[in-house]
Amino acid sequence: MTSYLLRRLPSLAVVLAVSSVLVFGLLRLVPGDPATTLAGSDATPDTIAAIRHQLGLDQPVLSQYAHWLTGLVTFDLGRSYIIGGGIGPLIGGALGNTLLLTASALLLAVLTALVLGPLWASARRPWLDHLLTGVNTLAIAVPTFVLGVALALLFGVVVPVLPAGGVPRGGLLADPGITAQYLLMPAVCLGLPVGAVLTRYLAESLRSELAQPYVVTALAAGVPRRRVLLRHALRNVLPTSLTVLGLQTGALLGGAVLVEFTFSWPGLGMLIERAITGRDYPVVQVLLMLSVTVFVVLQLLTDAAHALLDPRIRLGGAR
């Protein structure tokens, strides 16, 4: 199994390395000199030169890259041009909010899939199958932000039972009940497409699993249908489902940007949006690298979980 994971490492390392070059190069490609932007229109050449020196922009490109990379690895993330302050604390604050949001969304998605997936796979009545297919298609098809707007419209304005956006005044940790109210709509919004994709995958793979000979073997030997579905078959589709979940979790990062924007949720998505409109490139760079790193780590975790759950990989030597 270790060798299986080790074989995956080089490609992931390549992804990280190439991405870091791309993300770093981004700042170089941006039209205009950041120092000029920063200094404002009426700055003297001396001021600009000073800023350039301060930002390290007068160094050779390669050493700038090395410096930047070292900073990333040692969590010395530098300072923000525009928003102000250290990038570390800036991200730290937003990261917590985003984690809370994505974790809740993921939890909702996984729970939905685990309940509805097997139900759908074993649906004997055509109307139930049609209903689930319809709802599922809609849930996959409706874009996150569209759903967000619709939800905000419905429960924030038309039937105002939930806050249409933002976070509680006292902060997220003050009152879990109120936090849950603010969290509910964004989390549902973010989790729904993921849950829908996962449910569909689970239902389809369970269904094809139920056509496998080993299922007939177990049924023919008298093992109850329910147990064959929920224990034998589910256990078999778990490794690949985890891979799907891993990919979907990666996609959550993109979704989070939209959901946070829609519900004014002060997380990384809002931060990156602010940074981009404010042309605060160091922040953008760090956030991009963060996103890629999360993706790569997720891939690695998914592979590890997959390998752990599949004895043919874990123990090797498949014939």
Name the residue nearer to other proteins (CB basis): 6 or 220: 220
8 A C-beta contact, residue 102 and residue 185: no
Instruction: Please give the full DSSP string across 145-172, using - where no structure is assigned.
Output: HHHHHHHIIIIIIIS--S-SSS--TT-T
Rounded to 10 degrees, what is the CA torsion of 229, 231, 236, 239? 120
Residue 7 as a binder of other proteins (CB under 8 A): the answer is no
8 A C-beta contact, residue 259 and residue 190: yes
**Minimum CB–partner distance for residue 52 and other proteins (Å):** 20
Give the list of residues 6+ apart from residue 310 with CB closer than 8 angstroms, or none. 239
Query: Which of the residues 213 through 242 are near other proteins (CB under 8 A)?
Result: 213-214, 216-225, 227, 232, 235-236, 239
Name the residue nearer to other proteins (CB basis): 64 or 273: 273
Query: Which of the residues 266 through 285 are near other proteins (CB under 8 A)?
Result: 272-273, 276-277, 279, 281, 284
Q: Which of 124, 127, 171, 177 binds other proteins (CB under 8 A)?
A: 124
Query: Which of the residues 25 through 54 are near other proteins (CB under 8 A)?
Result: 26, 29-31
Give the list of residues 6+ apart from residue 154 with CB closer than 8 angstroms, or none. none
**Minimum CB–partner distance for residue 45 and other proteins (Å):** 26
- What the block records as the tokens of 90 is 């800036």
Name the residue nearer to other proteins (CB basis): 112 or 299: 299
Q: Which of 137, 161, 174, 180 binds other proteins (CB under 8 A)?
A: 137
Q: Which of 95, 142, 162, 308 binds other proteins (CB under 8 A)?
A: 142
- What the block records as the tokens of 118 is 């097997």
Site string for other proteins, 286-315 (x = CB under 8 A): --x--xx--xx------------xxxx--x
8 A C-beta contact, residue 269 and residue 256: yes
